[in-house]
A = this chain, B = another copy of it.
Amino acid sequence: MQQPERGAGEVLGAFVADTDPGAIAPPLRHEAKRALLNFLGCALGVSRDPAVTTAIGVLRPFSGAATATLVGQAARLDAMGAAFVNTVAGNLLDYDDTHLATVIHPTAAVAGAALALAETRGLPGAALLHAFLLGAEVECRIGLAVSPGHYARGWHITSTCGVFGAAAACARLLGLDAAGCATALGIAASQSAGLVENLSYGAKNVGMGNAARNGLLAALFAEAGYTAAPTAIEGKLGWARAMGDVPRLPDMLDGLGERWEFARNTYKPYPSGIVFHALIDACLALRERLGAAVGGIESVTVRGDQLLLDRGDRVVRTARDSRVSIHHGAAVALLRGRAGVPEFEDGAVWDPAVAALRGRVRAVLDDAMPRGAVAVTVALANGRSETVRVEAARGSLEQPLSDAELEAKFRDNAALGGTTDAASAQIAAVWGLEEAGALGRLLGLMAGRA
């Protein structure tokens, strides 16, 4: 007898419910810790940002018993509110991780929801880590099946797919069986939203927070017995097609548990758009080479591919602009020898020296350049000229950030958030997540309670 084909939700649900943590290779589990460390640092770094404190203020009257930690905050909220706020914070500057094949920032929504639920239910760090990893994988797989058309059409894929990842992770944490996990994904499909048009606005944060909050809600409704269409994701009137995509189901479903999209996760060394990272690498290297001579720069010529020029050849009017500007990225890296969060804030944007150097940067299309590569030539008033060429940026798949670099990024972020003394203990708690038992210590440290 021919078996009916299994729906996408059924296949993904079985993967989420039935994957044995012991069958997940240690490097992948370590990657999950790297992702969490990076996420927690990013959230810590913006803990005083008005976008975050505003979200806490809006959600506070709608919080039940405050069972869940807010990263970098003394205040707590219920799991729904904490999922929202921590996800907003972790993704606020788009300084978190990136799954390059989909441009999903995979960790924020999944970790935001899973941490809040795990803490609320008193679940151990190992359960959190595995649920997070499974959720993030589902998120990237669903995104992969509709990329690149999905994002190009206007869907903020980190939100639209984040809700699936959050639902999957929460369903796993709740101990739902394969059918229950499938149902959670089906309910998530009816909550998937988020628009590219809104990316430069606060509305983007609401979309992100909702991805976490609604993913958690989907899992809770599945646990409570609500149902969803088995074909909610791939059906004729389901998620992918309504959103304008014909999903490539093999990308979504083939080799689950064998080939991991999450293994291709990357981490940003700079809080700017990823396409600018090779440029910044090159300019930091030039700064090293030139030292104080940077004061004598007459012109900066940036040779890059079409994507770089399309994205970054722009006038800089705001901090947001600065994060996607060739001119600004080059100028701050050359002048300050750093390209951290402060270099893309108002203080740097309006720094007269930076503004002046921005005006001397010229971007030139070079079709001979490999995709993503950049060559920067600096000409000094004294006639000296230096060129640095970078093919694979720091933080790319070819040049991944080391654990030590991720730790350094975490420390920088912690300092931005105003807490430095706990950083070593916080980092150690993340690396020890699988052995830690309950999450209380890690989260206490993250809230500054420990």
Chain A residues engaging chain B, CB cutoff 8 angstroms: 50-51, 54-55, 57-58, 60-65, 78-81, 153-156, 159, 186-187, 189-198, 200-207, 210, 214, 217-218, 220-221, 224-229, 231-232, 235-239, 241-244
Q: Choose among B60, B186, B218, B242 the residue that contacts A196 (Cβ–Cβ < 8 A).
A: B242
Distance in angstroms from A203 CB to nearest chain B CB is: 4
Q: Shortest 4 CB-CB distances between A and B: which pairs? A: A202-B226, A154-B242, A154-B237, A197-B238
Q: Choose among B81, B187, B205, B243 the residue that contacts A202 (Cβ–Cβ < 8 A).
A: B187
Contact B241 A190 (CB under 8 A): no
Contact B236 A154 (CB under 8 A): yes
Chain B residues whose CB sits within 8 angstroms of the CB of A218 once the complex forms: 206
User: Looking across the interface, which residue of chain B has its beta carbon closest to that of A205?
Assistant: B226
Complex Cα–Cα for A156 and B60 (A): 31
Give 8 A-B pairs besides A54-B225, A62-B79 with Cβ atoms closer than 8 angstroms: A61-B64, A154-B237, A189-B203, A190-B195, A201-B232, A203-B229, A206-B226, A244-B244
Q: Choose among B78, B156, B241 the residue that contacts A62 (Cβ–Cβ < 8 A).
A: B78
A sample of 13 inter-chain contacts (CB < 8 A) reads: A50-B225, A58-B224, A63-B64, A154-B241, A155-B242, A190-B194, A191-B207, A193-B193, A198-B238, A200-B229, A202-B225, A202-B227, A203-B229
Given contacts A64-B64, A206-B191, contact A198 B54 (CB under 8 A): no
User: Looking across the interface, which residue of chain B has its beta carbon closest to that of A51?
Assistant: B226
Chain B residues whose CB sits within 8 angstroms of the CB of A51 once the complex forms: 226
* Number of copies of this kind of chain in the complex: 2
Contact B65 A61 (CB under 8 A): yes
Chain B residues whose CB sits within 8 angstroms of the CB of A155 once the complex forms: 242
Complex Cα–Cα for A220 and B238 (A): 30
Contact B196 A189 (CB under 8 A): no
Complex Cα–Cα for A155 and B190 (A): 9
Contact B54 A226 (CB under 8 A): yes
Contact A190 B217 (CB under 8 A): no
Complex Cα–Cα for A207 and B193 (A): 11
Contact A217 B221 (CB under 8 A): no
Distance in angstroms from A107 CB to nearest chain B CB is: 20
Contact B214 A202 (CB under 8 A): no
Given contacts A190-B159, A203-B226, A203-B227, contact A197 B236 (CB under 8 A): yes
Contact A229 B197 (CB under 8 A): yes
Contact A228 B203 (CB under 8 A): yes
Complex Cα–Cα for A370 and B376 (A): 72
Distance in angstroms from A369 CB to nearest chain B CB is: 27
Distance in angstroms from A151 CB to nearest chain B CB is: 9
Given contacts A203-B189, A217-B206, A221-B202, contact A197 B239 (CB under 8 A): yes
Chain B residues whose CB sits within 8 angstroms of the CB of A243 once the complex forms: 242-244
User: Looking across the interface, which residue of chain B has its beta carbon closest to that of A207?
Assistant: B190
User: Looking across the interface, which residue of chain B has its beta carbon closest to that of A81?
Assistant: B62
Contact A153 B242 (CB under 8 A): yes
Q: Choose among B58, B189, B220 the residue that contacts A195 (Cβ–Cβ < 8 A).
A: B189
Contact A195 B242 (CB under 8 A): yes
Complex Cα–Cα for A186 and B205 (A): 12
Q: Choose among B65, B191, B196, B201 the residue that contacts A228 (Cβ–Cβ < 8 A).
A: B201
Complex Cα–Cα for A282 and B191 (A): 40
Complex Cα–Cα for A156 and B238 (A): 10
Chain B residues whose CB sits within 8 angstroms of the CB of A206 once the complex forms: 187, 190-191, 217-218, 221, 226
Contact A210 B214 (CB under 8 A): yes
User: Looking across the interface, which residue of chain B has its beta carbon closest to that of A79?
Assistant: B62
Chain B residues whose CB sits within 8 angstroms of the CB of A54 once the complex forms: 221, 224-226
Chain B residues whose CB sits within 8 angstroms of the CB of A192 once the complex forms: 193
Chain B residues whose CB sits within 8 angstroms of the CB of A153 once the complex forms: 237, 241-242
Distance in angstroms from A437 CB to nearest chain B CB is: 24
Contact B62 A80 (CB under 8 A): yes
User: Looking across the interface, which residue of chain B has its beta carbon closest to that of A57?
Assistant: B224
Contact A221 B191 (CB under 8 A): no
Distance in angstroms from A418 CB to nearest chain B CB is: 22
Distance in angstroms from A46 CB to nearest chain B CB is: 15
